[in-house]
Every structure is written in C-alpha cells, then in structure tokens.
Amino acid sequence: MGRRRYWAPAQTEPVEHEVWFCRRPLTSHWGSGTVWQKLCKRFGTPDVAFGKTDGIPESLITQAIDHRTGFEWRRLPFTDQHFTFGYWDPPYDKLYKPEGQEIWRTVRRLAILHPTVYPRSWFLGAIREAMVPITFGPLKAVRCLQVFRRAA
C-alpha cells in the first residue's frame, strides 16, 4: 500500500506569526512558565490543559486532562466542542495523531506545543490561526506553538 495522503483546501486567511525567546528552564524538567504566561497574554487563557506541563498554575486552569489524572487521550469522555480553548503539550517522542484528533473533537480552539508542525488536514474543519516558534536558548530544540480554531 502507498502512503496515505491527507488533503485540505488551501487556507485563505493569514496565519499570525511571531517568535518567542523564552528563558532556559532552570529545573531538570522541560517547560518554562513563560510559555503559559505568553500564551494567555497573546491568545487568551485556555479552559483546559491536556497534560499538566509547562508550569501551568493550578489557579489558572479549570481542568488538567492528563494520564496521571486517569484520562486516555484517545477516548475522552466529553461531548464535541465541550471546551472553548484547549492547550496541549504532548510528549515529543512521536506525533500522537489519533490523540490529537480526539482532543480536537472536544475543543473549539486548540494550542499545541510541539517540535513538529501538525498538518491542518488532521483536524476536521480547522483553520490555522497562528504559529509561534519558541526557543529556550543554546542546545535546546525549537518548538512551535500552533493555534487552531474551528471554521465558522
């Protein structure tokens, strides 16, 4: 069998873009609270986080949907478009396509932080709103914050 191809109509709306230079994490864990702060300031505060990472303050998040809290990202117990705005910082060992598609089903808008740019065609009815490369300094991988919203 050949490779499966995904197709989406060309996006005619502009994609917002900028570059964020964040502080190098001072802990042994990945993440920097500055990403969450910048995300909230620039795009609004998400009402759900898929994965409790990146210094997300407990006081600012309604829910953290994470494996440690008993959730399986491939089968979420929420209705379609249940959440207004979600933030997902998946592990960087693979793309997590089925998980991303299931998460997309439950939100109206989604910000993904990952080193790989996710294809818009993976998310039914998605418009790419923004792409923000983020660097944490020397010898750190550049990650891309990708914001998708549902087409009207």
- The sign of the dihedral angle between the CA atoms of 53, 132, 73, 63 is positive
Q: Where are the domains of the chain?
A: 36-109
For residue 152, the tally of other CB atoms under 10 A from its CB is: 5
pTM: 0.85
Per-residue pLDDT of 56-87, as tens digits, reads 777 656 677 877 777 889 999 999 999 999 99
**In the chain, what percentage of residues exceed pLDDT 70?**
82
> What would you report as the CA-atom Rg of the chain, rounded to the nearest whole angstrom?
15
Per-residue pLDDT of 14-58, as tens digits, reads 888 899 988 776 655 555 568 888 999 999 999 998 886 656 777
Strands (E), the chain: 16-17, 20-21, 48-50, 63-65, 86-88, 109-114, 126-135, 143-150
Map tokens 């190098």 to a residue.
Answer: 24
Q: How far, in Å, CA of 150 to CA of 108, rounded?
A: 6
